[in-house]
Amino acid sequence: MSGDTSFGDRIVAAGFAAGWKLVPLLPERPTAAVFRLLADRVWARHGKSVARLESNLARVTGLEPGSRELSELTRAGMRSYFRYFHEIFRLPRMSGAEIVRRTRVVGAEHIHDTVAAGRGVVLALPHMGNWDQAGAWLVNVGHPFTTVAERLKPESLFRRYVAFREGLGMEVLPLTGGDGHNFATLALRVRRGGVVCLPAERDLTKTGVEVRFFGAATKMPAGPPLLAVQTGAALLPAIVHFDGDDWGIQIQEELPVPAEGTRQEKVQALAQGLADAFEKGIAQYPEDWHMLQRLWLDDLPGGAGR
């Protein structure tokens, strides 16, 4: 165990290991109830993550900070977030047929037709619903894909997450600590007519592309639009949400690469197109948007504030 791994990190890793081992062996409804109870307890404590989620939801919905409506929406958001964890522990034991049967998809033809025509696809999505389940659906309808995963701490947790996703049929590249050739690998996959799936609503680093999102400035990853510009792959926004006890996926039409402008201007235009598409999806299913971190530039230390 590395020296910079905290005791808390090790507890979290042990909890995930136990979850993947034990939760599938227990009845689904009682364990789901336990996860809802845990979500309610975390919500009631109103720690930093819950406060940030509430602030983010206030911005996207226009609900008044401190209002009962916003508080209840935040509670629903935490239940949605904990539902995601409950489901990922069960996914490895779920059959592909069940995953496909319980997933209601709008716009699947945008993937199928593009791949059938020999073009690659870049699916870009915000952190909503159960994106791992959506990935499992994609694999089980015939489109194994490549994605990039943040390197979690401790390393044992990261390895378990990678093993979980690879077990569902994904190819997983580490965001950091790999061979440094992620973009080249992703470009190769789509140039060969494959599919790449990438989270795409948050990148506050120097390489992020500034966009307007719910009326304020933030940064989004350059990777998805740059792949479309560089390779000719179709950039498809996707919205993932919960649909009762099942799941929903909305796959939108291709965002066209502008015919004129520099590469940077084209990437900027596509990133803004993703932001606009994500706005609509998040506004439709705000409780399923799992953004417990700062997102807007004026929320950052030294920013303008709200």
Indicate which residues carry an active-site annotation.
127, 201
The DSSP line for 173-241 is EESSSS-S-HHHHHHHHHHTT-EEEEE-S---STTPEEEEETTEEEEE-SHHHHHHHHH--EEEEEEEE
| CA distance linking residue 186 with residue 166, whole number of Å | 16
| CA distance linking residue 51 with residue 45, whole number of Å | 10
C-alpha triplet 23, 28, 34: angle, nearest 5°: 70
The secondary structure element, H or E, covering residue 147 is: strand 145-149
Q: What is the DSSP letter of 122?
A: E
In the sheet that 145-149 helps form, which strands lie side by side, from edge to edge?
103-106, 246-251, 234-243, 121-125, 195-199, 145-149, 171-174
Number of H helices, E strands in the chain: 11, 9
CA 241 to mean position of chain CA atoms:
11
Helix axes 263-284, 223-231, angle to 10 degrees: 130
CA 130 to mean position of chain CA atoms:
8
